């Protein structure tokens, strides 16, 4: 018996620890993986942003807010793909949904692209829960042959097993079709005598994933006045006076020029720097 206990102790040293139990009282979770074991890790400090903080994307806010409310009311709702310019509020909009509706039972599960192969397991884990879950994948894109691509397609629309009605997928990407597209793929198109064009099967495969999202929301770079308006909003949040805000205009434009972008993210970064130096 003593020898057997020593052998078991040695085996335990090599085995991964058991995953911790899920803290279902949390509002947000991350999917974690160690070896062959995956679990939901509660997020203790949730990054929060309100809908009022997101400026000049009113149409996108209205659509995703309506879709999320329908989801919470157990009405038909769509999975959402948000694409477009960087720093314009795509991921912040998902966080704002959690801030607005967490008290109504909305929960957020963040999953890394590399862990999408576990998506079916995650959906099954959440299926028995009374809460309503948004599975969120930020900066989603795929290269050729990645396993998560097929898993996501299956869960979105294609598996014989239906996804639970308490789960939606919200994803953001800088690519409309989520995969790289090459000029050489146009060579696979067949041109018929009657002028009809039949796209190559490779192109069809790449487009098929993004088409399984029921809602597409596009985000565009901000105009100069919109960028300055966002800067002013964040400066007021940080306690700057109106005179101080007026003085920031030239430096705010220089800040955006140096970064090559007039986005909400750049505006917020400038506001932090300016407020720290002047308040």
pLDDT tens for 15-46 read 656 677 889 999 999 998 877 788 899 998 88
pLDDT, mean of residues 233-255: 95
Is residue 93 within 8 Å of 120, Cβ to Cβ? no
Residue-wise pLDDT tens digits, 159-210 = 444 556 899 999 988 766 555 554 454 555 555 555 545 555 554 555 667 7
pLDDT, mean of residues 47-55: 90
Q: What is the structure's pLDDT at 56?
A: 93
Give me the sign of the Cα torsion angle 6, 10, 16, 17. positive
Is residue 170 within 8 Å of 79, Cβ to Cβ? yes
Q: What is the structure's pLDDT at 144?
A: 62
Q: Per mean pLDDT, which of 47-51, 68-72, 196-200 is the most reliable?
A: 68-72
Lowest mean pLDDT among 57-71, 93-107, 143-157: 143-157
Per the confidence metrics, is the pTM higher than 0.85? Answer: no
Closest to 130 (Cα-Cα) out of 166, 81, 80: 166
Q: What is the structure's pLDDT at 268?
A: 94
* DSSP state at residue 15: S
Give me the sign of the Cα torsion angle 235, 237, 238, 239. positive
∠ CA 114-120-126, rounded to 5°? 110
- The pairing of strands 80-84 and 167-173 is parallel
Q: What is the structure's pLDDT at 161?
A: 47
Whole-number Å distance between alpha carbons of 54 and 50: 7
**CA 79 and chain centroid, separation:** 11
């Amino acid at each position: 018996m003593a020898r057997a206990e020593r052998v078991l102790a040695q085996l335990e040293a090599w085995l991964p620890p058991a995953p911790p139990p899920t803290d279902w009282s949390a509002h947000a979770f991350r999917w974690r993986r160690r070896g062959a074991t995956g679990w939901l890790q509660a997020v203790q400090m949730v990054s929060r942003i309100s809908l009022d903080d997101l400026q000049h994307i009113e149409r996108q806010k209205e659509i995703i807010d309506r879709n999320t409310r329908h989801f919470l009311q157990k009405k038909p709702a769509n999975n959402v793909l948000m694409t477009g310019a960087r720093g314009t509020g795509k991921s912040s909009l998902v966080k704002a949904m959690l801030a607005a509706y967490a008290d109504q039972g909305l929960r957020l599960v963040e999953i890394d692209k590399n862990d999408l192969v576990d998506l079916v397991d995650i959906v099954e884990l959440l299926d028995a829960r009374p809460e309503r879950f948004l599975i969120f994948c930020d900066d989603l894109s795929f290269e050729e042959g990645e396993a998560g691509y097929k898993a996501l397609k299956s869960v979105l629309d294609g598996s014989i097993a239906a996804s639970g009605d308490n789960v939606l997928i919200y994803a953001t990407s800088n690519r409309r079709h989520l995969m790289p597209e090459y000029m050489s793929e146009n060579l696979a198109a067949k041109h018929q005598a009657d002028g009809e064009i039949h796209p190559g099967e490779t192109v069809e495969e790449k487009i098929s994933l993004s088409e399984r999202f029921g809602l597409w929301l596009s985000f565009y770079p901000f105009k100069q006045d919109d960028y300055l308006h966002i800067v002013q909003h964040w400066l007021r949040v940080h306690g700057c006076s109106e005179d101080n805000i007026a003085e920031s205009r030239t430096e705010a434009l220089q800040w955006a020029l140096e970064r090559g972008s007039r986005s909400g993210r750049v505006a917020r970064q400038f506001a932090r720097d300016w407020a720290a130096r002047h308040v």
